[in-house]
Amino acid sequence: MEFVFDSYCGVFCGACPIMLATNAGKLEQDKQCFGCKSEKPTGYCKTCGIKACANKQGIDFCIQCTQMTNCDLFQKFTSDPVYQYGQCVIKNMEKIQIIGLQNWLEMQAKRWRCKNCGETQSWYQESCPRCGQFVENYKADL
């Protein structure tokens, strides 16, 4: 199955701890996630209201929606204290609009790797899971 790294809400799934654990073969099949827009999203992201709404409207990203600034669902997501990476998604989508999806995906694939050893890191990690060097987490992107 193919991994898909972009999402309707602007999250970069490629640095999600669940996708990274899936890719590393660390999760049981029913817990594996291949991305929001993939054939196999998992958990909350399987039935996410934002995805359902964007699908209904036929758009690829919430930023294409005229309701985004007034959307309770989207506002709740971007201010969720438990899921703080959500604060980055507007900037992510603005960047996608400027440089295009493919360029953004390439940029993100580099951004979420340790500069020392090249290991992938998640949104929340502050040290490389392989070599221990400091890595910038989501806060650097706010």
Q: Which residues bind ligand SF4 (CB under 6 A)?
A: 7, 11, 13, 16, 18-19, 33, 35-36, 41-43, 45, 50, 53-54, 57, 59, 62, 65, 67-68, 71, 73-74
Encode burial over 50-70: b for 16+ CB neighbours within 10 A, e otherwise. Answer: bbebbeeeeeebbbebeeeee
Residue 62 binding: pick among Zn ion, ligand SF4, none (C-beta 5-8 Å cut-off by kind): ligand SF4
Binding residue for Zn ion, selected from 37, 113, 119, 141, defined by CB under 5 A:
119
* Using rule CB under 5 A, residue 116 touches Zn ion: yes
Quick check: 8 and 60 in contact, CB under 8 A? yes
* Using rule CB under 5 A, residue 114 touches Zn ion: yes
How far is the C-alpha of 42 from the C-alpha of 34, rounded, in Å?
8
Under DSSP, is residue 134 helix (H, G, I), strand (E, B) or coil?
Answer: strand
- Number of chain residues interacting with Zn ion (CB under 5 A): 8
CB atoms within 10 A of CB 39: 9
The site for Zn ion (CB under 5 A) is made up of: 114, 116-117, 119, 128, 130-131, 133
